[in-house]
Amino acid sequence: MKTPQKTLWSGRFSSNLTSETIAFTHSIEADTRLIGYDIWGSQAHAIMLARQGIITDADLREILRWLRKAEEDYQNGTLTFDNDLKHL
């Protein structure tokens, strides 16, 4: 039997997740449908962090620049999700 891969969130668990659990928590389809909202929420969060003085205005500009790039890539079809990226 193949040993399940260790996931990014596995540090909270005392044993490896089973392949069935990993398959159950797979969310690429939902993530794809929600990406526009995720980007929008990340932009709003970054703006709040800057307004609270937690990050600098320069950091905010850089974050917003890369979020815009991600949104453009998504709209152009060049941003894709890779299931393997969730594994360590």
In terms of residue numbers, what domain contains 68? 28-80
Residue 13 pLDDT: 67
Residue 88's pLDDT band (boundaries 50, 70, 90)? very low
Q: What is the pLDDT of residues 37-87, one digit of tens each?
A: 999 999 999 999 999 999 999 999 999 999 999 999 989 988 877 666 554
Q: Which of 35, 33, 41 shows the shortest CA–CA distance to 72?
A: 35
57 versus 21: the higher-pLDDT residue is: 57
Stretch 4-29: mean pLDDT: 68
In a domain, 19, yes or no: no
As for how many domains the chain has, the answer is 1
- Please spell the DSSP secondary structure of 11-23, one letter per residue: GGSSSPPPHHHHH
In a domain, 12, yes or no: no
In a domain, 9, yes or no: no
